[in-house]
Structure 1
Amino acid sequence: MAGQVRAIAFGPGGRTLAATSTEGPVRVWDTDGHLVAVLPAQTADARAVAFAPDGRTLAVAGTDGTVRLCDPAGGGAPAVELAGHTGRVDSLAYAPDGGALVSGGADGTVRLWDPVAARQSAVLAGQGAEVLAVAFAPDGRTVASGGVDRTLRLWDVAGRRTTMALTGHNDDINAVAYTPDGSALVSAGGDGTTRLWDVRGGRALATLAGHTDYVLGVAVDPGGTLLATAAFDQSVVLWDLRGPVLTARPFTEVWQAAYSPDGKLLATADADHTVRLWEVAGRRVAASLAGHTEAVFAVAFSPDGRLLASAGSDGTVRLWDVASRTELSALTGHGGIVYAVAFSPDGRLLASAGSDRTVRLWDVASRTELSTLTGHTDFANDVAFSPDGRTLASAGDDLTVRLWDVAGRRPLATLRGHAGAVRAVAFGPDGRTLASSGNDGTVRLWEAPRSWAAATSATVLSGHTGSVRAVAFSPDGKWLASSGNDRTVRLWEVAGRRPWAALTGHTSAVWGVVFSPDGRTVASSSNDGTVRLWDPDPRARQAEICRLDAGAEWPKNSPACTF
C-alpha cells in the first residue's frame, strides 16, 4: 500500500481488514493477505474507517466533509454519501446494533447518522474544537468524543445532550475506547499518556505513562483484560487491566547494542528509557539500568570494560559502573537529543553527537566537557574514533562526514558524496579505511593513504533498499556489516568490495549492528524489539543464532538456541 497509512479497521470476526492511505483509495484485504477490494477514488486520504457490525458496509471518513458508506466486498454499488460536516471528517464509529453511526470532524461537531435511511439524525455541538475521536458505549446509549480541546465528553444519544466532561489531558485527545462492560473509558493523548476513566463516577482511575510521544491509538481486547496503546514513538505497549495496579508489558524498540571488550556482556539502548545488560552465554538480562527519562539511543563500553556510556532523548550522556550496575554521572551540555557516544581507544575521552548539530568531547575521569566541535549544519548522528585515537569522524543530516583532529580540537576534512542524511560511521581496524552509510541507501568506503585530510571515496556499496542505519567492521577488518530500514543485515567482503550475504529475520527496521570482539557473532538491534545474534562465518550458511526480546526481558527460543 503506497503512502502513509492513516487508519485501519478489522471487520466482524477479524476476517477482513480495511486500511486508508495518503496516496490512494481505501483497500480491503482478507487476513490471509489477499486483496479483496479497492474502493472508489473518493475514499483516498480518508482519516477513518469503520465496519458495520454485520460486515456488509464500510463507513469512510472523507477529507471533503462527507461520510461514505461503501460495499467492502467491492461489488460495484456506488457509495452512499452522507453530507453535513463543513470540514474534514476525522473519526467514525458504529453503534453495536448497527442502527446508528457517529462521526466527528474538523468543524467541531459530533454528528449522528441513520445509516439505513442514509440521513443525519442529530448534530451534537459543544466540543468547541476539532473532534478527533468518537466511540459508542457497548449499550449504544452513550457516545464518547474527544479532540483538540483536550476534553473527553459523554453524550446521551436519546437526549442529544452532554452528560459529562472529563479533563486531565494536556494535549489533543486522539483516540477513545470503552471497556467491554462499559464501566470504563480509555483515552489517548498527545501528551504521551493514556487515561482510564470511571464513566459512572466521572473520575480518573489511572494515568498510564509509558510512551515518549503522542499516543495515537487504543484498543481493549474482548475479554477486557488487556489494553493496547500505539504511539508516534513507533511503539506498542500492552497494559494489564486486571487488579488495582496497571502494569505495562512493553514492546520496545532496541536502538543499539554494544559488546563488552571480553564479549561476555551485551548492552542495549532501548526506547523504554532503559539500558539493559545481557549475559551473552546465558542469553538473559543481567541488569536493567534506569536513569534516563526518555528513549535511550546509544550505548558504548569503555576499552577496559569498567564503564558504560549511554545517551538518548533526554539530552544527557550517562556513565555507569558496569560491576556495580550503578550510575556514576549524568553529563549535560547538549541542547537536544544525543544520538551517539564513543570512547577513545585509551578510554580517556568520550565523544557524543546530537540534534543540536554539535559533537562534544568529554574528559572521562573528571566528567567534564572539554570541547564543543561545530561545523555540522544539521543533526549530528554518529561518532567514531580512529584506532590510534587521533581522528574523530562524525556523520550528519547535512549529507556530510566530518573528520576532526582530536588533539587540536579542529576540523580536518569534510567528506561529501552521500545523497541523503549520513546515519553512521565506522573506522576499519587498519585506520586507513572509513565506512559511512545513510538515507541514500548506500554504504561508502573512504580511504586515506597518507592523511585523512586528503581522504577520497573509493567505493559505493549498493544493495540495501532503504536507509542504511549502521555499519561495523569485523575485528580483523575482512568484513563489514550494515543494517537498515529494509529489515536486513548485510555482510560485505572489504577486500573485494563486494556483497557477501543478506541476513533476514527482523520484522522491522534494523537500527544497529556490531561484531563481537572475537568476530564470531554479529548482533543486530531493531525496531521490532529484538536483538538477534548471527553467525557471520563465510564458510557456513549465515544463520540466526538467537533472538533476545528486550520488551519481555526474557529470550525467545529459536531453533539454534539452547537455554
Structure 2
Amino acid sequence: MLRRQRAFRSTIALAASLTSVAISSLALAEQSTPDSAAKKVTFEEHVKPIFRQHCLTCHNLGEKKGGLALDSYQAVLEGGGSGEVVYDDGDYDGSRLWQLVSHEDTPIMPPGQDKIPAEQLAVLQAWIEGGILENSGSKAKAKKKNPLEFVAASRGKPDGPAAMPETVPMGVPVVTERPAAVTAIACSPWAPLVAVGGQRQVVLYHGDSGELLGVLPFAEGVPQSIRFSSDGGYLFVAGGEHAVLGLVAIYDVRTGERIATVGDELDIVFDGDANSDMTRVAMGGPKRMLRIYDVTDGSLKFDLKKHTDWILAVAFSPDDVLIASGDRSAGLVVWEADTGQPYLDLAGHKGAVTAVSWRDDGNVLASGSEDGTVKLWDMHTGNQIKSINVGGPVQDVAFDHQGRLITASGNRKATVWDAGGSKVRDLPAMKEAVLEAALSHDGKRAVYGDWSGQIFNVATDDPKQTLTLASNPPDERELLAAASQKLKAAQAELKKATDDLQPIQSKVQTMKDAVNAAKQDLASKRDRLEELKSTLADLNKKEQSAEETIRKAAGAADVSHDEMIAAKVGLKRGDIDDQQLALAEQQVADAFAALAESRRGLLATREQIVSLTTQRKQIQATIPTLEKAVSDADGRLQAAQSELEPVDQTRRQADAVVQKLLDRVRRIEEAIEASI
C-alpha cells in the first residue's frame, strides 16, 4: 500500500538578466505560414527565443542551474530537480514555469525583476495550452488526467440525523469586555453547527441562524484548534497555556460532555486531530515533536522528530492512512499513521506552514503558508499540483465536501476558491488579519474570524447575508433576559396562531362530520342493495321451487281427477261402493286445494320479487347522487384542510419555538444556579 516517496525542491532556479523587450516571432510566424500553421505556437519558433532572451544564461545544457535546462526541447520536457516544469495537466496556470514567470509563486523569475512582457506571457500560455509543440510538424502531447478532478464523497456521513447540541450547558465560564483574537473555528461536516474557540471555552452556534446553542468549558486555557470527527458527533479541541500545559480534549456534540482528555504536554498544543474511530490522537506544538497517542489507555504511540520548528498544523487523512504536519520553518511532512514513518517530505513553501486540509477523497492535500500561497499536493506522486497566490500571508485553509477551498489571509480577506483552485470570490473584508476560516457542511455559508475578535458568518452566494458571532458571549443573566424576552414574544405568537387555528378547526370538523354522514348514508344504501340482492336471489330460488311444486301438484290433481272419474264409472258398474267414490272425490279435492295453495304461494313470492326489485331500482337510482354528495363533501373537506394546514403549521412552528426557548431558559437557569 505504500507509495514511493518523492522529495520536492520547490524552486526552479530560473535565472537570467532580462530586458523588457517584446518578441515579435509569433507575429512573424503567423505572417509567413498558412492559416493552419499560424494557429500553432511551437518551441523552436516562438518559445525558445523567449528563453534565450531571459533564461539561458543560467538554464542551459552546460550549466543547468537547479537541474534545469531550457535550451533544448527534450531538456525542457525532462524538467528540473522538481520534475516537469512546463507541462502537467494541460492547464497553463498549473505549470510550475508559468507560476514563477507570472509571479504567482515564489521564487519569482527572473529574480528581482518585473514579469516578462504580457505578450511573451501570452505566447507561453498559448504554447502550454496548445500541447507544448516542438515545431510546426509536431502533434500536441496527450493531456494527462487532471489530478484535481474530484467526485464528492460521503465518507463519515451518519446513517441518521447529524449530531446537534441537545443538552449542552449554557453556562459561560469566562465573560470578557472584548473578544480576543480568533484562534479556532470549525464547521460540522454534516450539520448546521459552528464551533468557535474563546478564552477557556468553546462556543457552539447554529450555522444558519447564528443562535447560541451551548458553551463547552475548556479550563486548561485557550483553544488553538477545533476539529469535528468525520461523522460530526464529536469535537476535538487542542490548546492549553503557553509554557505550562497542552492537550487535546474530546467532547460529545449532543451532550457537551468531555469524554476524553489526551496528552499532558509541557507547552501548548497548536493543533491536534483524531482518526475516524477516535483510537488515536495526533498533536503538535512548540516542542517540535509530532506526538501520537492511544486514546484507549492514554499511552504515547509515536514521538516523531523531523520538524525543526514549532508544529502549527496537524491533520489525519480521511482514510486514516496518513498524517500531515506543518511547521513554522516551512516544513511540511506526511507520515504513515500506522508506523510513524515519514511518507513524503513536501518542500515548496518559503514561509511558515500555518494550516493543512485534506480533500474528502484523501488524494489531495492543501497547505497554507505565510509565504502567501496555498499549495495542492498529489498524494499518489508527491507532486505539487497547483500553487495558489492568495495575496497575503495564509493563516488558514480548508476544503469543503465539493472540493472547494476557503482561505484566511493577513490581507484581511477570506476567499472562496473552486475545486480547480480558481478564485470564486473574496468575502467581506474584516478589520484585521483573518486568522481562521471554514465552510459549512453544505458549502452555503462561510465562517471566519480575525485578529480583533470579529467573526462573520456569510452566505457564500450572497455575502450581504452576514451574521455576526462572538467567542465571548454575554453572561448567563444577560442570556436569560434575552431568552425570556424572546420567549414572551414567541408565546404571544403561539397564542395568536392558536386563536387563528380554532375557527378553521371547527370548520374542518363540520366538514368531516358532513363527509362522514354522507359516507354513512351511502354505505347504508349500499348495504341495503346487497341485502336486497341476497333476498331476491333467495326469492328467485323460492319461485323456481314453487313452480316445481305447482307442476307436481297439478300432475297429482290430474291423477286424482282421473281416478275420481274412474271411480264414478266403477260405481255405475257396481265395481266400487259409495265410500270408495267419496274417498276418490276427497283426494281430488285435496289435490286441487294443494295446487291452489301452491299457486297462491307463487303469486306471493312474485309479488315480493316485484316489490323488492322496485326497491332495488329506487335505491340504485340514488347511488350516483349519494356518491356525488360524498365527493362534494370530501372536496369541501380537502379545501378546508388545505386552509387549515398552513395555519396549523404556523402554530406547530410557534409551539416548537416556544418549547425550544423554554428549554433554553431552563438550561440558562440551571447554569445560573450552578454558579451560585
TM (norm. structure 2) is 0.42
Q: Which has the larger radius of gyration?
A: 2
TM (norm. structure 1) is 0.50
> Of Structure 1 and Structure 2, which has the larger fraction of its residues in strand?
1
> Of Structure 1 and Structure 2, which has the larger fraction of its residues in helix?
2
